[in-house]
């Protein structure tokens, strides 16, 4: 076997299963705030487009994706992030991917040089664990930067020494689990560092459309690059998904966009890897990227849940409304794993302990004493879960 497989850590949900093994849940309805899987309805017109094009499975799809899909994505990118030329983007800067998860993994295999002197890949802590596994299997070394509710400060605290030894930089913006968003100036500075130290920025922007209306739409990495005159997006890649934006996690549809040279190398990698997107999914995705109304409705539904839930939780725990994403990331007066066990045994609510999403560096796990609450369930369930968590803390 590949010895690097032994370096992989158990996934947080596997650890959670072990933590909760043997606990009898309270005799109440089960409410899951643990998995970040959207539960709002998928848009009917996208499902119709999928079904209407089922015959597309009679053909092998191209890895580069159909003209229609790439143009639909390019138009969305240009409109949403104020980029220049949609035709140029569609022809050379975009590739469809089967959800961002596989692409966030695959890009490391394509970009990283395991024979280079510097093998570090900077990534947030806590984080989406795929980044770490991707880097370990590419023969390089995960290096962490802590994240907080102040995204700019997190990036600005990274030293030139850290940047100098880094080949690839994973950015999660908006952040999971913090929901913090970087300003355009922090993104510009990061791109300048990438140019100076010659590393690639992979910006995971899968939560970019789930923002609070009061906070406004987050700036994207390509937007910052374009605004500073980097119109070929050198050193920059963004990863977007329909999973959260359009409540389609099972359709496995996203795209990457950015640096033409990396995109073309990644296309070659993917041709061998054999991960082209099924034709009906390509068609339905093109339809989904063209519509904004369902995205706006989705956003408002999350806004309403945040308002209702925070009214209940804020008086009893240290918790902030994040600018984006669909998580809450409260810090607790008790141990996060103990609280997670109590949430199940006393109230039948599933959470994720913050420490399971982070790594201990110099004796400190920045996720410890936090829990992650995914506000994905319907409004009444989220409110009921909040009432139950309040009861635990009051007890």
SS3 345: helix
- State in angstroms the smallest separation of the CB of 171 from ligand PLP: 10
Choice between 36 and 280, CB closer to ligand PLP: 36
- State in angstroms the smallest separation of the CB of 105 from ligand PLP: 10
Mask for 221-260, x = binds ligand PLP (CB under 6 A): --------------------x-x-----x----x------
User: Of the ranges 78-86, 94-102, 184-192, 308-316, which one interacts with ligand PLP (CB under 6 A)?
Assistant: 94-102
Cα(105)–Cα(159) distance, integer angstroms: 26
- State in angstroms the smallest separation of the CB of 83 from ligand PLP: 21
CA distances in angstroms from 213 to 6, 35, 93, 184, listed in the order given: 44, 24, 29, 18
User: Of the ranges 97-105, 152-160, 267-275, 338-346, which one interacts with ligand PLP (CB under 6 A)?
Assistant: 97-105
Among 107, 171, 172, 284, binds ligand PLP (CB under 6 A): 172
The reply on whether position 128 binds ligand PLP by CB under 6 A is yes
- State in angstroms the smallest separation of the CB of 100 from ligand PLP: 4
Among 71, 125, 167, 176, binds ligand PLP (CB under 6 A): 176
Q: Give the helix/strand (H/E) hosting 144.
A: strand 141-146
291-330: contacts with ligand PLP (CB under 6 A)? none
The reply on whether position 100 binds ligand PLP by CB under 6 A is yes
Choice between 177 and 330, CB closer to ligand PLP: 177
Q: How many C-alpha atoms does 82 have within 13 Å on its Cβ side?
A: 13
Choice between 175 and 330, CB closer to ligand PLP: 175
SS3 219: coil
Cα(245)–Cα(239) distance, integer angstroms: 13
Q: Omega into 174 within 30° of 0, i.e. cis? A: yes
Query: Phi/psi at 96 (nearest 5 deg)?
Result: -75, 150
Choice between 61 and 126, CB closer to ligand PLP: 126
- State in angstroms the smallest separation of the CB of 180 from ligand PLP: 13
Choice between 36 and 142, CB closer to ligand PLP: 36
Choice between 202 and 349, CB closer to ligand PLP: 202
User: Of the ranges 42-50, 96-104, 356-364, 371-379, which one interacts with ligand PLP (CB under 6 A)?
Assistant: 96-104
The reply on whether position 99 binds ligand PLP by CB under 6 A is yes
Cα(283)–Cα(263) distance, integer angstroms: 21
Choice between 204 and 381, CB closer to ligand PLP: 204
Query: Phi/psi at 97 (nearest 5 deg)?
Result: -135, 160
User: Of the ranges 71-79, 98-106, 143-151, 221-229, which one interacts with ligand PLP (CB under 6 A)?
Assistant: 98-106
Long-range contacts for 367-370 (Cβ within 8 Å, ≥24 apart)? 367/125, 367/126, 367/177, 367/336, 368/335, 368/336, 369/331, 369/332, 369/334, 369/335, 369/336, 370/177, 370/329, 370/330, 370/331, 370/332, 370/336
Among 80, 101, 245, 305, binds ligand PLP (CB under 6 A): 101
Among 33, 69, 206, 224, binds ligand PLP (CB under 6 A): 206
Under 8 Å between Cβ of 103 and 133: no
Cα(28)–Cα(389) distance, integer angstroms: 13
DSSP state of 232: T
Q: Give the helix/strand (H/E) hosting 266.
A: helix 260-273
- State in angstroms the smallest separation of the CB of 236 from ligand PLP: 17
**Sheet architecture: strand order including 120-125:** 94-97, 254-258, 236-241, 200-204, 166-172, 120-125, 141-146
Cα(289)–Cα(72) distance, integer angstroms: 6
Choice between 111 and 197, CB closer to ligand PLP: 111
Choice between 197 and 376, CB closer to ligand PLP: 376
Interface with ligand PLP (CB under 6 A): 36, 99-101, 128, 172, 176, 204, 206, 241, 243, 249, 254
């Amino acid at each position: 076997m590949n010895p690097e497989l032994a370096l992989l850590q158990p996934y947080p949900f596997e650890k959670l299963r072990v933590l909760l093994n043997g606990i009898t849940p309270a005799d109440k309805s089960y409410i899951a705030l643990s998995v970040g899987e959207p539960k709002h309805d998928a848009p009917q017109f996208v499902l119709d487009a999928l079904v209407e094009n089922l015959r597309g499975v009679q053909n092998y799809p191209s890895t580069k994706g159909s003209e229609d899909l790439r143009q639909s994505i390019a138009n969305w990118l240009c409109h949403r992030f104020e980029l220049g030329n949609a035709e140029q983007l569609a022809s050379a800067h975009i590739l469809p991917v089967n959800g961002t998860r596989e692409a966030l993994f695959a890009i490391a295999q394509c970009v990283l040089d395991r024979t280079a002197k510097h093998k570090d890949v900077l990534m947030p802590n806590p984080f989406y664990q795929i980044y770490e596994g991707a880097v370990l299997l590419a023969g390089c070394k995960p290096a962490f930067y802590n994240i907080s509710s102040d995204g700019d400060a997190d990036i600005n605290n990274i030293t030139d020494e850290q940047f100098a030894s880094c080949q690839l930089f994973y950015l999660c913006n908006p952040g999971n689990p913090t929901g913090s968003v970087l300003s355009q100036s922090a993104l510009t500075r990061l791109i300048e560092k990438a140019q100076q130290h010659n590393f690639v920025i992979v910006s995971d922007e899968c939560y970019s459309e789930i923002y609070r209306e009061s906070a406004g739409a987050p700036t994207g990495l390509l937007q910052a690059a374009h605004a500073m005159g980097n119109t070929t997006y050198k050193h920059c890649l963004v990863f977007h998904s329909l999973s959260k934006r359009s409540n389609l996690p099972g359709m496995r549809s996203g795209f990457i966009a950015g640096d033409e040279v990396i995109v073309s190398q990644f296309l070659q990698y993917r041709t061998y890897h054999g991960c082209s997107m099924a034709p009906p999914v390509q068609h339905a995705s093109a339809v989904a990227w063209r519509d904004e109304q369902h995205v706006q409705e989705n956003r408002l539904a999350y806004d309403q849940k945040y308002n209702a839930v925070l009214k209940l939780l804020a008086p009893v725990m240290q918790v902030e409304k994040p600018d984006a994403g669909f998580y809450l990331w409260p810090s607790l007066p008790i141990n996060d794993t103990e609280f997670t066990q109590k949430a199940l045994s006393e109230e039948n609510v599933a959470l994720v302990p913050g420490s399971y999403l982070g790594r201990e560096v110099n004796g400190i796990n920045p996720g410890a004493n936090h829990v992650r609450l995914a506000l994905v369930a319907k409004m009444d369930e989220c409110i009921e879960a909040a009432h139950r968590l309040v009861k635990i803390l009051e007890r």
